[in-house]
Amino acid sequence: MQLKISSLSKTYPNGVQALKNVSLTISNGLFGLLGPNGAGKSSLMRTIATLQEAGSGSIFLDDLNVLEKKEDVRKILGYLPQEFGVYTNVSAEELLTHIAILKGISDSRQRSELVKSLLVQTNLYDARKKKLGGYSGGMKQRFGIAQALIGNPKIIIVDEPTAGLDPTERNRFLNLLSEISEQVIVILSTHIVEDVKELCSQMAIINKGEVLFAGHPMEAIKMVQGKIYTAFASKTEAKEIAAQYKVVSQKFNTGKIELHVWSDEKLNHTFTETETGLEDVYFSVINGLVKNSSEFSVYNS
Ligand code: ADP
Protein backbone atom coordinates (compact mmCIF):
# COMPACT_ATOMS: atom_id res chain seq x y z
CA MET A 1 0.00 0.00 0.00
CA GLN A 2 1.06 3.52 -0.66
CA LEU A 3 -0.35 6.79 0.59
CA LYS A 4 0.33 9.65 -1.76
CA ILE A 5 -0.35 13.18 -0.61
CA SER A 6 -0.01 15.80 -3.33
CA SER A 7 0.04 19.58 -2.93
CA LEU A 8 -2.27 19.53 0.06
CA SER A 9 -3.20 22.93 1.46
CA LYS A 10 -5.60 24.00 4.15
CA THR A 11 -6.64 27.41 5.42
CA TYR A 12 -9.03 27.61 8.37
CA PRO A 13 -11.90 30.12 8.31
CA ASN A 14 -9.96 32.33 10.77
CA GLY A 15 -7.26 32.77 8.11
CA VAL A 16 -4.62 30.43 9.60
CA GLN A 17 -2.91 28.48 6.83
CA ALA A 18 -2.22 25.17 8.58
CA LEU A 19 -0.95 23.23 5.53
CA LYS A 20 1.04 24.65 2.61
CA ASN A 21 1.46 22.56 -0.46
CA VAL A 22 2.25 19.35 1.43
CA SER A 23 3.48 16.45 -0.72
CA LEU A 24 4.52 13.13 0.80
CA THR A 25 4.67 9.51 -0.28
CA ILE A 26 4.30 7.00 2.53
CA SER A 27 4.71 3.20 2.27
CA ASN A 28 4.11 0.34 4.70
CA GLY A 29 6.11 0.77 7.87
CA LEU A 30 6.32 3.32 10.62
CA PHE A 31 6.31 6.90 9.38
CA GLY A 32 7.25 9.65 11.84
CA LEU A 33 5.78 13.10 11.27
CA LEU A 34 7.88 15.40 13.39
CA GLY A 35 7.23 19.04 14.13
CA PRO A 36 6.75 21.55 16.94
CA ASN A 37 3.35 22.43 18.36
CA GLY A 38 1.26 24.29 15.82
CA ALA A 39 3.24 22.89 12.85
CA GLY A 40 0.14 21.41 11.21
CA LYS A 41 0.53 17.77 12.21
CA SER A 42 -3.01 17.32 13.54
CA SER A 43 -4.47 19.16 10.57
CA LEU A 44 -2.71 16.71 8.27
CA MET A 45 -3.67 13.67 10.39
CA ARG A 46 -7.33 14.72 10.55
CA THR A 47 -7.44 15.31 6.81
CA ILE A 48 -6.02 11.85 6.06
CA ALA A 49 -8.44 10.38 8.61
CA THR A 50 -11.32 11.99 6.62
CA LEU A 51 -12.34 14.08 9.62
CA GLN A 52 -11.87 17.42 7.96
CA GLU A 53 -11.94 18.84 4.47
CA ALA A 54 -8.79 19.80 2.62
CA GLY A 55 -8.60 23.19 0.93
CA SER A 56 -6.85 21.91 -2.18
CA GLY A 57 -4.66 19.03 -3.29
CA SER A 58 -5.22 15.29 -3.28
CA ILE A 59 -4.65 12.17 -1.17
CA PHE A 60 -4.64 8.69 -2.67
CA LEU A 61 -4.32 5.36 -0.88
CA ASP A 62 -3.25 3.27 -3.84
CA ASP A 63 -6.19 3.96 -6.19
CA LEU A 64 -8.59 5.09 -3.50
CA ASN A 65 -9.35 8.80 -3.53
CA VAL A 66 -9.23 9.59 0.19
CA LEU A 67 -10.78 13.05 -0.04
CA GLU A 68 -13.75 11.82 -2.06
CA LYS A 69 -14.43 8.27 -0.87
CA LYS A 70 -14.53 8.92 2.86
CA GLU A 71 -16.76 5.96 3.74
CA ASP A 72 -14.45 3.52 1.94
CA VAL A 73 -11.42 5.02 3.67
CA ARG A 74 -13.01 4.71 7.12
CA LYS A 75 -13.41 0.98 6.62
CA ILE A 76 -9.66 0.50 6.32
CA LEU A 77 -8.52 3.19 8.74
CA GLY A 78 -7.61 3.05 12.42
CA TYR A 79 -7.28 6.38 14.17
CA LEU A 80 -6.03 7.32 17.60
CA PRO A 81 -6.73 11.03 18.09
CA GLN A 82 -4.66 13.38 20.20
CA GLU A 83 -7.35 13.69 22.84
CA PHE A 84 -8.43 10.11 23.28
CA GLY A 85 -11.16 10.08 25.92
CA VAL A 86 -12.36 6.71 27.19
CA TYR A 87 -15.36 5.74 29.25
CA THR A 88 -13.96 5.37 32.73
CA ASN A 89 -16.45 2.98 34.23
CA VAL A 90 -16.15 0.02 31.89
CA SER A 91 -13.36 -2.51 31.45
CA ALA A 92 -11.08 -2.76 28.42
CA GLU A 93 -12.66 -6.07 27.51
CA GLU A 94 -16.19 -4.66 27.67
CA LEU A 95 -15.40 -1.55 25.65
CA LEU A 96 -13.44 -3.44 22.97
CA THR A 97 -16.34 -5.88 22.65
CA HIS A 98 -18.75 -2.97 22.32
CA ILE A 99 -16.64 -1.26 19.64
CA ALA A 100 -16.30 -4.57 17.77
CA ILE A 101 -20.11 -4.86 17.69
CA LEU A 102 -20.37 -1.29 16.39
CA LYS A 103 -17.83 -2.13 13.69
CA GLY A 104 -20.06 -4.98 12.54
CA ILE A 105 -18.32 -8.05 13.96
CA SER A 106 -21.54 -9.90 14.75
CA ASP A 107 -20.30 -13.46 15.33
CA SER A 108 -19.77 -13.67 19.10
CA ARG A 109 -17.05 -16.32 19.04
CA GLN A 110 -15.09 -14.50 16.37
CA ARG A 111 -15.55 -11.28 18.37
CA SER A 112 -14.32 -12.71 21.66
CA GLU A 113 -11.28 -14.22 19.93
CA LEU A 114 -10.47 -10.89 18.32
CA VAL A 115 -10.85 -9.01 21.62
CA LYS A 116 -8.61 -11.52 23.35
CA SER A 117 -5.90 -11.31 20.69
CA LEU A 118 -5.96 -7.50 20.77
CA LEU A 119 -5.64 -7.50 24.56
CA VAL A 120 -2.69 -9.88 24.33
CA GLN A 121 -1.06 -7.90 21.54
CA THR A 122 -1.28 -4.65 23.47
CA ASN A 123 -0.15 -6.30 26.69
CA LEU A 124 -3.43 -5.53 28.47
CA TYR A 125 -4.76 -9.05 28.88
CA ASP A 126 -4.01 -9.22 32.61
CA ALA A 127 -5.76 -5.88 33.12
CA ARG A 128 -8.72 -6.71 30.88
CA LYS A 129 -11.29 -6.67 33.72
CA LYS A 130 -9.98 -3.46 35.22
CA LYS A 131 -12.03 -0.28 34.74
CA LEU A 132 -10.45 2.04 32.17
CA GLY A 133 -10.62 4.91 34.67
CA GLY A 134 -7.91 3.13 36.66
CA TYR A 135 -5.55 2.70 33.68
CA SER A 136 -2.25 4.59 33.52
CA GLY A 137 -1.53 6.95 30.60
CA GLY A 138 0.45 4.27 28.78
CA MET A 139 -2.23 1.65 29.27
CA LYS A 140 -4.86 4.06 27.92
CA GLN A 141 -2.74 4.68 24.82
CA ARG A 142 -2.26 0.94 24.29
CA PHE A 143 -5.99 0.51 24.67
CA GLY A 144 -6.36 3.25 22.04
CA ILE A 145 -4.25 1.15 19.68
CA ALA A 146 -6.28 -1.98 20.45
CA GLN A 147 -9.50 -0.19 19.46
CA ALA A 148 -7.86 1.30 16.36
CA LEU A 149 -6.87 -2.20 15.23
CA ILE A 150 -10.42 -3.56 15.17
CA GLY A 151 -11.48 -4.20 11.59
CA ASN A 152 -7.97 -4.96 10.29
CA PRO A 153 -7.05 -1.46 9.13
CA LYS A 154 -4.57 -0.94 6.30
CA ILE A 155 -3.56 2.43 7.64
CA ILE A 156 -3.27 3.54 11.24
CA ILE A 157 -2.89 7.13 12.32
CA VAL A 158 -1.73 8.05 15.80
CA ASP A 159 -1.60 11.71 16.74
CA GLU A 160 0.95 12.70 19.42
CA PRO A 161 0.50 9.47 21.37
CA THR A 162 3.60 9.59 23.55
CA ALA A 163 3.20 13.01 25.17
CA GLY A 164 2.93 12.47 28.90
CA LEU A 165 4.17 8.87 28.91
CA ASP A 166 7.12 7.87 31.07
CA PRO A 167 10.17 6.45 29.23
CA THR A 168 9.29 2.79 29.85
CA GLU A 169 5.71 3.22 28.69
CA ARG A 170 6.90 5.23 25.71
CA ASN A 171 9.28 2.49 24.61
CA ARG A 172 6.66 -0.17 25.06
CA PHE A 173 4.16 1.87 23.06
CA LEU A 174 6.61 2.61 20.24
CA ASN A 175 7.62 -1.06 20.04
CA LEU A 176 3.96 -1.96 19.69
CA LEU A 177 3.58 0.51 16.81
CA SER A 178 6.71 -0.84 15.20
CA GLU A 179 5.39 -4.41 15.33
CA ILE A 180 2.06 -3.40 13.85
CA SER A 181 3.73 -1.45 11.06
CA GLU A 182 5.25 -4.56 9.51
CA GLN A 183 2.06 -5.08 7.52
CA VAL A 184 0.38 -1.68 7.41
CA ILE A 185 1.08 2.01 7.11
CA VAL A 186 1.41 3.56 10.55
CA ILE A 187 1.70 7.33 10.74
CA LEU A 188 2.93 8.65 14.05
CA SER A 189 2.84 12.37 14.66
CA THR A 190 5.06 13.70 17.40
CA HIS A 191 7.06 16.67 18.63
CA ILE A 192 9.50 14.32 20.40
CA VAL A 193 12.61 13.62 18.30
CA GLU A 194 13.43 10.37 20.14
CA ASP A 195 10.10 8.90 19.03
CA VAL A 196 11.31 8.98 15.45
CA LYS A 197 14.97 8.17 15.94
CA GLU A 198 15.09 4.42 16.32
CA LEU A 199 11.94 2.87 14.98
CA CYS A 200 10.71 4.92 12.06
CA SER A 201 11.80 3.78 8.63
CA GLN A 202 10.52 6.99 7.07
CA MET A 203 10.08 10.48 8.44
CA ALA A 204 9.19 14.06 7.61
CA ILE A 205 9.83 17.31 9.42
CA ILE A 206 7.04 19.82 9.20
CA ASN A 207 6.91 23.40 10.43
CA LYS A 208 4.40 26.18 9.84
CA GLY A 209 2.44 23.92 7.52
CA GLU A 210 5.39 23.13 5.25
CA VAL A 211 7.29 19.88 4.77
CA LEU A 212 10.94 20.83 5.23
CA PHE A 213 12.45 17.38 5.00
CA ALA A 214 11.28 13.90 4.05
CA GLY A 215 13.33 10.73 3.94
CA HIS A 216 15.02 8.12 6.12
CA PRO A 217 16.21 9.20 9.60
CA MET A 218 19.75 7.93 8.90
CA GLU A 219 19.81 9.80 5.62
CA ALA A 220 18.83 12.94 7.52
CA ILE A 221 21.64 12.47 10.02
CA LYS A 222 24.22 11.87 7.30
CA MET A 223 23.36 15.21 5.75
CA VAL A 224 24.43 17.22 8.75
CA GLN A 225 27.31 14.98 9.75
CA GLY A 226 30.57 16.88 10.26
CA LYS A 227 28.77 20.23 10.37
CA ILE A 228 27.74 20.33 14.00
CA TYR A 229 30.07 21.52 16.76
CA THR A 230 29.52 21.65 20.50
CA ALA A 231 30.64 24.21 23.05
CA PHE A 232 30.05 24.41 26.78
CA ALA A 233 29.78 28.03 27.81
CA SER A 234 28.76 30.45 30.52
CA LYS A 235 25.80 32.73 29.87
CA THR A 236 28.03 35.57 28.64
CA GLU A 237 30.12 33.29 26.45
CA ALA A 238 26.96 31.76 25.04
CA LYS A 239 25.80 35.21 23.95
CA GLU A 240 29.11 35.85 22.21
CA ILE A 241 28.97 32.51 20.44
CA ALA A 242 25.38 33.16 19.37
CA ALA A 243 26.45 36.49 17.87
CA GLN A 244 29.19 34.86 15.79
CA TYR A 245 27.91 31.43 14.84
CA LYS A 246 24.79 29.74 13.57
CA VAL A 247 23.30 28.23 16.71
CA VAL A 248 21.39 25.04 16.11
CA SER A 249 20.27 24.52 19.70
CA GLN A 250 21.18 25.30 23.26
CA LYS A 251 20.30 23.74 26.57
CA PHE A 252 21.49 23.64 30.15
CA ASN A 253 23.88 20.83 30.93
CA THR A 254 25.53 20.42 34.35
CA GLY A 255 25.62 24.12 35.18
CA LYS A 256 26.83 25.24 31.74
CA ILE A 257 25.06 26.03 28.51
CA GLU A 258 25.61 23.39 25.86
CA LEU A 259 25.46 24.97 22.43
CA HIS A 260 25.38 23.14 19.14
CA VAL A 261 26.43 25.31 16.23
CA TRP A 262 26.43 24.74 12.50
CA SER A 263 29.66 25.28 10.61
CA ASP A 264 30.83 24.32 7.14
CA GLU A 265 34.40 24.95 8.22
CA LYS A 266 36.30 23.09 10.88
CA LEU A 267 36.11 24.81 14.28
CA ASN A 268 38.61 24.41 17.09
CA HIS A 269 39.53 25.40 20.67
CA THR A 270 36.13 26.36 22.13
CA PHE A 271 34.41 23.73 20.01
CA THR A 272 34.45 19.98 19.61
CA GLU A 273 33.05 18.15 16.63
CA THR A 274 29.86 16.41 17.64
CA GLU A 275 28.49 13.07 16.73
CA THR A 276 25.38 14.22 14.95
CA GLY A 277 21.98 13.16 16.15
CA LEU A 278 18.52 13.51 14.71
CA GLU A 279 17.95 16.32 17.17
CA ASP A 280 20.63 18.35 15.35
CA VAL A 281 18.89 17.72 12.06
CA TYR A 282 15.56 18.68 13.54
CA PHE A 283 16.77 21.96 15.05
CA SER A 284 18.84 22.82 11.97
CA VAL A 285 15.72 22.43 9.85
CA ILE A 286 13.30 24.10 12.25
CA ASN A 287 15.65 27.05 12.84
CA GLY A 288 15.91 27.62 9.10
CA LEU A 289 19.65 26.87 8.93
CA VAL A 290 19.28 24.43 6.10
CA LYS A 291 15.90 25.35 4.65
CA ASN A 292 15.74 24.94 0.89
CA SER A 293 19.30 23.71 0.96
CA SER A 294 20.26 21.34 -1.81
CA GLU A 295 21.78 19.21 0.94
CA PHE A 296 18.28 18.10 1.81
CA SER A 297 16.19 15.94 -0.41
CA VAL A 298 12.61 17.02 -0.06
CA TYR A 299 10.16 14.74 -1.80
CA ASN A 300 8.38 16.56 -4.54
CA SER A 301 6.33 13.64 -5.71
P1 ADP B 1 0.04 20.54 15.47
O2 ADP B 1 -0.81 19.32 15.49
O3 ADP B 1 1.33 20.37 14.75
O4 ADP B 1 0.23 21.13 16.83
P5 ADP B 1 -2.28 21.83 14.26
O6 ADP B 1 -2.59 21.15 12.99
O7 ADP B 1 -3.12 21.49 15.46
O8 ADP B 1 -0.74 21.67 14.61
O9 ADP B 1 -2.39 23.41 14.06
C10 ADP B 1 -1.77 24.09 12.98
C11 ADP B 1 -2.22 25.55 13.02
O12 ADP B 1 -3.61 25.61 12.70
C13 ADP B 1 -2.07 26.21 14.37
O14 ADP B 1 -1.74 27.57 14.14
C15 ADP B 1 -3.45 26.09 14.98
O16 ADP B 1 -3.68 27.13 15.90
C17 ADP B 1 -4.34 26.21 13.76
N18 ADP B 1 -5.60 25.45 13.90
C19 ADP B 1 -5.74 24.13 14.16
N20 ADP B 1 -7.04 23.76 14.15
C21 ADP B 1 -7.75 24.86 13.89
C22 ADP B 1 -9.15 25.15 13.73
N23 ADP B 1 -10.07 24.20 13.84
N24 ADP B 1 -9.51 26.42 13.44
C25 ADP B 1 -8.58 27.38 13.32
N26 ADP B 1 -7.26 27.20 13.43
C27 ADP B 1 -6.84 25.97 13.72
Residue 218: partners with Cβ closer than 8 Å, 6 or more residues away: none
For ligand 1, say whether the CB of 22 is within 6 Å of any of its atoms: no
The whole-number pLDDT of residue 41 equals 95
For ligand 1, say whether the CB of 37 is within 6 Å of any of its atoms: yes
The whole-number pLDDT of residue 282 equals 94
The whole-number pLDDT of residue 293 equals 41
Angle between helices 92-102 and 108-121 (to 10 degrees): 130
For ligand 1, say whether the CB of 81 is within 6 Å of any of its atoms: no
User: What DSSP character marks residue 127?
Assistant: G
The whole-number pLDDT of residue 164 equals 78
Q: Is 114 helix (H, G, I), strand (E, B) or coil?
A: helix
Atom 23, ligand 1: which residue's CA is nearest?
12
The whole-number pLDDT of residue 291 equals 57
The whole-number pLDDT of residue 166 equals 86
Give the position, in ligand 1's atom list, of the atom nearest the Cα of 52: 23
Atom 12, ligand 1: which residue's CA is nearest?
18
User: DSSP characters for 44-105?
Assistant: HHHHHTTSS--SEEEEEETTEETTT-HHHHHHTEEEE-SS----SSSBHHHHHHHHHHHTT-
CB atoms within 10 A of CB 60: 16
For ligand 1, say whether the CB of 35 is within 6 Å of any of its atoms: yes
The whole-number pLDDT of residue 295 equals 45
**Block mean pLDDT (10 aa), the chain, length 301:** 96 97 95 96 95 96 96 92 80 94 91 95 94 91 91 92 85 90 93 88 95 90 89 94 93 92 88 90 88 44 35
Nearest 5°: phi and psi at 253?
-145, 115
For ligand 1, say whether the CB of 45 is within 6 Å of any of its atoms: no
CB 280 within 8 A of CB 263: no
